[in-house]
Amino acid sequence: MRHRRLRALSLALTAALTAPPAMAGAVLDYVGTYIWSRDEASFGGFSGLEIGPDGRSFHALTDRAHLYWGRIERDDRGIVRGMAVAGRANLRDSKGQPLPPGYTGDSEGLAIGPDGRIHVSFEGLNRVAAYDGPDAPATPLPSLPKLPGIGTNSGLEALAVADDGTLIAIPERSGAEERPFPVLRFDGAWSEHARIRRDPRWLVVGADFGPDGWLYVLERDFRGILGFASRVRRMQLTPGVVQQDEILLETRPLQYDNLEGIAVWDDGIGIRLTMISDDNFLFVQRTEIVEYRLREDRASAMRN
């Protein structure tokens, strides 16, 4: 009898973890797209993005260990019309040496805490490091726990920091299409905070906490010659539990380039999502800044 109860509990837990996310009562309204280009070798491959509370300051991370920062030029309607770069830095290792592209310099996730400290996740040599400034040496965080699916090109893609400074990391892969993604939490040490559903083909590439407290997750599906499709989900995340996992957006293949970074902020009207694409340093791709605004419908507002 005890084994039957344990099996029933296990099946119930599995069902809870794998229940399909609901389509959100909220919707995303398209705001605009800006094509960003610069004539320099380090430009491209953007995988992480942070937008300041004013919607105008930015930090953008390439997957070759370069960090750009500056100001977003917007028109009277708040649409992006330019990206004014104020500085660029080659991230460094703990000894202060510039990181080369490749195994040790494959930077993917970016999160800037309330104290201004910069956090970066790397795949290849999988790790997370903190920086007191763009030119400062890295302060390595403690080693990550062993995770299924972690490999040379499938490490911690998504990094987000909550208002209280808690760091959240999600790997690109989970080890199997039917296996949920582990969500790691750093509070002096790494631990598994929760698990989020994985749908076949969709891989996690970015995440950010919105000013509303929701966790927004950007996912990608590569469809070969058909290009990339992107998806945005949001969820309420508490220890061990994911609530109200909702799909906000699913794009058509080739609708946008390879969206990899996401920033969520309040534009004074509501929640806005800004995403950036990784052009893989290929001339057939491009760096896009894509923006949407979140609109809650009445039913969703009442439910929340």
pLDDT digits (tens, 9 = 90+) for 30-60: 999 999 999 999 999 999 999 999 999 999 9
- When pLDDT is cut at 50, 70 and 90, the band that residue 13 belongs to is very low
Domain residue ranges of the chain, discontinuous segments joined by + = 2-303
Helix%, strand%, coil% for the chain, nearest 5: 10, 50, 40
118: β partners: 112, 131
Q: Whole-angstrom Cα distance, residue 289 to residue 295? A: 20
Q: Whole-angstrom Cα distance, residue 184 to residue 180? A: 13
DSSP states of 262-273: EEEEE-SSSEEE
**Helix (H) and strand (E) counts in the chain:** 2, 21
Tell me the whole-structure pTM to 2 decimals: 0.89
pLDDT (0 to 100) of residue 2: 38
pLDDT (0 to 100) of residue 25: 77
- Does the structural domain 2-303 have CATH classification 1.10.287? no
Between residues 232 and 243, the one the model is more confident about? 232
Task: Report the DSSP pairing between strands 287-295 and 167-171.
Answer: unpaired
- The predicted model gives 234-252 an average pLDDT of 92
Tell the residue number behind the tokens 């893609």, with chain if given: 157
Tell the residue number behind the tokens 């490999």, with chain if given: 151
Q: Whole-angstrom Cα distance, residue 139 to residue 120? A: 10
Best CA proximity match to 185, nearest among 137, 221, 145: 145
pLDDT (0 to 100) of residue 150: 76
* Residue 6 CB-density burial (10 A; 0-12 exposed, 13-18 middle, 19+ buried): exposed
- Alpha helices by DSSP H, listed for the chain, are 2-18, 298-303
- Neighbouring C-beta atoms of residue 177, cutoff 10 Å: 11
Checking if the pLDDT of 175 tops 90, the result is no
- When pLDDT is cut at 50, 70 and 90, the band that residue 145 belongs to is confident
Residues with Cβ within 8 Å of residue 198, at least 6 apart in sequence? 174, 177, 178, 179, 180, 181
pLDDT (0 to 100) of residue 24: 59
Q: Whole-angstrom Cα distance, residue 24 to residue 54? A: 27
